[in-house]
Amino acid sequence: MGSAEATASRNRAIRFVRENSLSLFFLVIFLAALTGQAIAGHELFNQEQLAHGEQPVSFWRYVTSSHFGQAVMENWQSEYLQFALFALATVWLLQRGSPESKELGKSGLESDQVQKVGRHAHPRSPRWARVEGIRRTIYSNSLIIVMALIFIGSWFAQSVTGWTEFNENREAHGDPAVSWWSFVGTAEFWEATLQNWQSEFLAIGSFVVLTIYLRQRGSPQSKPVGSAHDTTGVEG
């Protein structure tokens, strides 16, 4: 009996890992990269402290600093902006030949029948897809709403950590502190923001175009290897 229970438990664990391997994989490498960033950032921060004749800080002090927070948040906000914009733009905008685009002629919000909402919903559709009114409107746009909220939240976090960092530098040079509102109008804030945005827009735009002619066998982000180059909106 004990052996059967152990086998069942092991099978459940294997099944859990297999069925969630994509999100587990990215969660693990995200945490590993964040830890690596903290270690390298701490080292660099202390090198700069010593170069300026100041005391090095502990690892704990570094990971609770605005210096680390700004470095993390400026990357987060741009990633969520990228995905939110991509989800929104692909509702209406098309690219012939790209699997990232909808099929030509399907631009727009599509019919209730295609979207399986209201009376076209099936028994296993989410409840808010079956109801009418504001709940369905919210649920129909819930992905972009949440992605946009995460973008705004992380951009705000970037701004306040950057603001604190900015004022610490000003204080070190004997200059008066500035308000948060003044900081978000500075070249420093916008340089940090736009350097991340440009790389995200480049990556997403190039991916849309590269997938016209290039393939990755087995990936849903690519067309099937044998698909014609002008086949649009078909994923492998």
- Contact residues: another protein, CB under 8 A: 12, 15-16, 19-20, 23-24, 27, 30, 64-66, 69-70, 72-73, 76, 122-124, 150, 153-154, 156-157, 159-164, 167
132/171 with CB nearer another protein? 171
Q: What tokens does 137 get?
A: 């409107």
Nearest Cα residue to 158 out of 198, 199, 201, 191: 191
The per-residue DSSP string of 127-161 comes to: HHHHS-THHHHHHHTHHHHHHHHHHHHHHHHHHHH
Q: What tokens does 88 get?
A: 């929104």
8 A C-beta contact, residue 49 and residue 55:
yes
Min CB(155)–another protein separation in Å: 10
Residue 145: count of CB within 10 angstroms of its CB? 13
86/155 with CB nearer another protein? 155
Min CB(185)–another protein separation in Å: 17
Cα dihedral 184, 81, 28, 44 in deg (nearest 10): -30
7/206 with CB nearer another protein? 7
8 A C-beta contact, residue 136 and residue 147:
no
Helix or strand (DSSP H, E) at 209: helix 187-213
Min CB(98)–another protein separation in Å: 27
Min CB(154)–another protein separation in Å: 5
62/86 with CB nearer another protein? 62
**CA dist., res. 13 & res. 7, Å (int):** 10
157/192 with CB nearer another protein? 157
Min CB(26)–another protein separation in Å: 9
Residue type at 213 in one-letter notation:
Y
Min CB(65)–another protein separation in Å: 6
**CA dist., res. 19 & res. 25, Å (int):** 11
20/137 with CB nearer another protein? 20
119/122 with CB nearer another protein? 122
Residue type at 47 in one-letter notation:
Q
Nearest Cα residue to 110 out of 89, 90, 91: 91
Min CB(106)–another protein separation in Å: 26
